[in-house]
Amino acid sequence: MSLPVHTRHLVERLLARYCARICPPSFERQVRLGYRIEGRHVVLHEVKPMFGIPGTSRAVDAARFSYRPTDGSWRLAYNRGEPTRWRPYPALRERAFVRLLAEVDADPLGLFWGRVNGASLRWCSARGRCADCEAGYRSVLGPAGHAGQAPDRVHSTGLVVPGS
């Protein structure tokens, strides 16, 4: 089974904008994000160079979003370096796609992007993102990217419809 056409279009649009943002900006040439859609699953991955050989790369999976057609909700899973083994993301009740993407972006447990000395590899410094990066990601994630704020409306596809 594949994603409904409208849902697929909205997911592709949101992820294209999300993957275009790199934090910190100085890593734009070294870090690239991408995604692929496999049936009812959407996999977010980091594109990494292979063995330092120019022009070669490989996708390292970070998160998998699984669409449930029975109720239109989403599930989130993480990968610990095992290509075919996905584990359910613990203790998250949220089922809206954009909110799950915001959780992946925040990575409070360090399961998606990894950590060095307690800091996410997706932050500008050990204290977090700089104001410019934070504003950029919030522009993509909308109200769902702000902790403690509910979005105006969540579409039946699990995506936030801003300003409605």
Q: Does some domain include residue 129? A: yes
From the list 136, 104, 102, the residue with the least C-alpha distance to 120 is 104
Contacts of 107 (CB under 8 A, 6+ apart): 113, 120, 122
Quote the pLDDT of residue 116.
Answer: 55
CB 161 within 8 A of CB 152: yes
The answer to whether residue 64 is domain-embedded is yes
**Residue 160 maps to a domain:** no
Q: Is residue 114 part of a domain?
A: yes
Is 163 within the bounds of a domain? Answer: no
Span 74-102, pLDDT tens digits: 999 998 777 678 999 986 777 899 999 98
In a domain, 152, yes or no: no
Is the residue at 162 inside a domain? Answer: no
Owning domain of residue 89: 5-145
Alpha-carbon span 44 to 19, nearest angstrom: 9
Q: Which burial class, exposed, middle or buried, applies to 23 when counting CB atoms under 10 A from its CB (0-12, 13-18, 19+)?
A: buried
If one counts the domains in the chain, the total is 1
Query: How far is it, in rounded angstroms, from Cα 125 to Cα 133?
Result: 11
pLDDT tens digits, residue range 101-158? 988 888 888 888 765 555 565 666 656 667 777 777 777 777 555 443 333 344 444 4
Task: Please check whether residue 45 lies inside any domain of the structure.
Answer: yes
* Strands laid side by side in the 87-88 sheet: 32-38, 41-49, 57-68, 73-78, 87-88
Whole-prediction pTM: 0.75
